Amino acid sequence: MATITSMVGDGFYDRHSHVQAQFILSSADQLERAASSVSLPEQGPVGLADLGSSEGKNSLVLMGHLVEMLRRRRAEQSFLIIHNDLPANNFNGLFQKLYAQGKPYGPDSWVMASAASFYEPISPPQTLHIVCCYSAVHWLSHVPKIPNPSGVLFARMDAKSRAILAAQAARDWEAFLRARAQEMVPGGQLIIVTGGREGEDVAGIKMYRLLDQILKELSHPPFVMPIYYRSREEIVAPLDACGFKCEHFRIQSLSTPFAEQLAINGDRIAYARATTSFVRAWMEPLLPDPRIYEMMEERMAEDPEGTGVDNVQVIAAFSRL
């Protein structure tokens, strides 16, 4: 049974996570809505958590933005801020980054790390007011056995294999919501940004097609990516039963900053290097053969249109009932 590891550490993820950084900006409306509508506690701290925070660059911006908006509502408010990721995450790097310029979130703030899987509660009951999970909940808790995978991603598999992964994704999503329901206060706000799909439009599908081709050429053993991009229906289905109400849902297609740069300067080599580094930052712990990334870079430079990492991105906000 394959389990997932974390991202490439030693700052590599942080240096190659511009795409994920873009997602914070594109969800600014929901961050503002959550910060202005959440009930502040009569006493004690506001609990904030970022689930799947990785090495911290984007997490610091995200949590910092929420703290700033909430302080505008109540200047003397205290905060508990939890950065969560899997045990293999580079937590040393995360804390070095957080404290590089002194106390990260100002006075009366307590910063903690949690290395529990977000498929379980990561904080005591009713302690969190706003919870964010960016570019992380499409990672499954583990990969169920798929006898003959015809591609690395569920969307490139036959119906039977696809159904096995869909069932795992449904169990994981429900576990995720139930865990949040325990640790969030009533009225608490959950903001999710994740890869998704709309019909046949699936996050990163052209890149996965290229990856399948490369693995075939390398005679790589069968491999199943522990990722599932959910549809709107799959995301919304268990909300009510798990104690959440949908406040906002949208799916948008986004190109990457590298593709935008390519359109301006036409530099295919720089484009392919940046795009491959972005992919490597999260894929290398699972597929470590360096030839994969050499071939990917080469092919992406040859055919940027046919191989790019187009994002189908879900931005969703739920409130705890």
Ligand X SMILES: C[S@@+](CC[C@H](N)C(=O)[O-])C[C@H]1O[C@@H](n2cnc3c(N)ncnc32)[C@H](O)[C@@H]1O
313 near ligand X, judged by CB under 6 A: no
135 near ligand X, judged by CB under 6 A: yes
Q: Which SS3 state, helix, strand or coil, does residue 123 take?
A: coil
Q: Out of 6, 30, 109, 275, name the contact with ligand X by CB under 6 A.
A: 6
Binding segment for ligand X (CB under 6 A), chosen from 104-112, 117-125, 235-243, 248-256, is 117-125
Burial (CB count within 10 angstroms: exposed 0-12, middle 13-18, buried 19+), residue 115: middle
User: What is the number of residues in the chain?
Assistant: 321
117 near ligand X, judged by CB under 6 A: yes
Q: Out of 79, 91, 105, 119, name the contact with ligand X by CB under 6 A.
A: 119
Smaller CB distance to ligand X: residue 24 or 301?
24
90 near ligand X, judged by CB under 6 A: no
Q: Out of 4, 31, 38, 143, name the contact with ligand X by CB under 6 A.
A: 4
- Quote the least distance from Cβ 189 to ligand X, whole Å: 17
Q: Scanning residues 51 to 70, which ones bind ligand X (CB under 6 A)?
A: 51-54, 58-59
Q: Scanning residues 8 to 37, which ones bind ligand X (CB under 6 A)?
A: 17, 20
84 near ligand X, judged by CB under 6 A: yes
Element of type H or E holding 256: none
CB distance 108 to 71 below 8 Å = no
Binding segment for ligand X (CB under 6 A), chosen from 34-42, 95-103, 130-138, 292-300, is 130-138
> Which residue has tokens 């293999």?
88
Q: Which is nearest to 79 in space by CA: 92, 97, 66?
A: 66
> Rounded to an integer, what distance in angstroms lies between the CA atom of residue 255 and that of residue 136?
19
Smaller CB distance to ligand X: residue 191 or 301?
191
Two tokens, residue 116: 């529990």
The two counts, helices (H) then strands (E), for the chain are 12, 11
Smaller CB distance to ligand X: residue 227 or 301?
227
134 near ligand X, judged by CB under 6 A: yes
Q: Which is nearest to 55 in space by CA: 102, 101, 28, 89?
A: 89
Residue 25 burial (CB count, 10 A):
10
> Rounded to an integer, what distance in angstroms lies between the CA atom of residue 43 and that of residue 78?
9
Residues that bind ligand X (CB under 6 A): 4, 6-7, 17, 20, 51-54, 58-59, 84-86, 89, 117-119, 134-136, 139, 141, 282
